[in-house]
Structure 1
Amino acid sequence: MNACIYPGSFDPITNGHIDIICRARNIFPKVYVGVLNNTAKRNLFSVEERVEMIRRATGGMDGVEAVSFEGLLVDLMERLSCRIIIRGLRTGADLELEQQLSVINRQLLPGAETVALLAKPETYFISSSAVRELIEFHADISGYVPREVADMINGGIKNENL
């Protein structure tokens, strides 16, 4: 097990996401953070901005690489020679969804496994959607996102969308 992938939209990346990345990196020597470019979904930040946020927030972490992708996660996993999916779980609803996705991913890519990491009590309530709402109302997001991400957002990234 050389590498794992932690997929998501990360719109924006939060302290909860960073916690999962750090913990995954303690288990695996290489962690790909897969930023989904879902054109059917209206994101606050472009895929390039989200990748840059992740790069800045994980800049001091060896073995962490942000990559963008479209389409199926298993296609990216094949390109990266990766068979392990990391998922952070906050609630029972997250568990149910991830169980279903795990079965589908194994059917599409034999040998694919999902490793679930439980959110810590201090971050389980943080979600990207809640942070987006705080951004929309110009509220302080510094307690919910890495400093580098707050600096990017407060520095004017995508202010025209707010």
Structure 2
Amino acid sequence: MEACVYPGSFDPITKGHLDIIERAGVIFSTVYVGVLNNISKRCMFSVEKRVEMVKAATRHIKNIQVVSFDGLLVDLLKTLDARVIIRGLRTGTDLELEQQYAFINGKLLEGTETLALLSRPETHYISSTAVRELLAFHADVSDYVPEAILSMIDKGE
């Protein structure tokens, strides 16, 4: 199947993100993980560090390419000649938000489809926000992030 884009801040990448990437990698010939450089959002890790973390966490998956981007997701889709967006859903709230984005992206770039993958029960509760809060209090996050990035988190920026 064609290429897809899995966009996100990945601040930091979690086991939930990694599960979605691995599953998308089975379905699509190429999965572009788009690490968003959102200047209006204050991230814990720089975009360069987040790209490095995603690359480390996905090193075992052959058909993954990690790219950073800013601006509109549809502009990245155009650049990569992709028309499928992958999104992970944990809750009904996620579904409502992603439905809005799917409609807008479809209007901005005709032919764009959003494919939602449901979170597995073992990763359903994991979020980057929760991981960042745990990190702020120097708590152990090894249950929530890929092992490959633990040393990168410990080193900080």
TM-score bracket for the superposition, by shorter chain length: over 0.9
Q: What secondary structure, in the 3-state scheme, does the structure 1 residue paired with 2:140 have?
A: coil
The residue that corresponds to 2:99 in the other structure is 99
Letter of the 1:53 partner, please give it.
M
The residue that corresponds to 1:109 in the other structure is 109
The residue that corresponds to 1:157 in the other structure is 156
The residue that corresponds to 1:38 in the other structure is 38
- CA shift at 1:157, angstroms? 2.1
Letter of the 1:42 partner, please give it.
R
* 1:29 is aligned to 2:25: no
Letter of the 2:97 partner, please give it.
L
- CA shift at 1:149, angstroms? 1.1
- CA shift at 1:54, angstroms? 0.3
List per-residue Cα deviations over 1:83-110 (Å, max 9, x = no partner).
0000000000000000010010000000
The residue that corresponds to 1:147 in the other structure is 147
Q: What secondary structure, in the 3-state scheme, does the structure 2 residue paired with 1:117 have?
A: strand
Distance 1:149 1:124 in 2: 20
Distance 2:88 2:2 in 1: 19
* 1:118 is aligned to 2:98: no
The residue that corresponds to 1:136 in the other structure is 136
Distance 1:22 1:153 in 2: 22
Distance 1:81 1:49 in 2: 26
- CA shift at 1:150, angstroms? 1.1
The residue that corresponds to 1:90 in the other structure is 90
Distance 1:77 1:98 in 2: 17
- TM superposition outliers: structure 1 runs of 4+ over 4 Å: none
Root mean square deviation, CA, Å = 0.6
Letter of the 1:88 partner, please give it.
G
The residue that corresponds to 1:48 in the other structure is 48
How many residue pairs align between the two structures?
Answer: 157
List per-residue Cα deviations over 1:93-133 (Å, max 9, x = no partner).
00000001001000000000000000000001000000001
- CA shift at 1:151, angstroms? 1.5
The residue that corresponds to 1:61 in the other structure is 61
* 1:4 is aligned to 2:4: yes
Distance 2:75 2:31 in 1: 17
Distance 2:61 2:53 in 1: 14
Letter of the 1:134 partner, please give it.
L
Structure 2, unpaired ranges of 5+: none
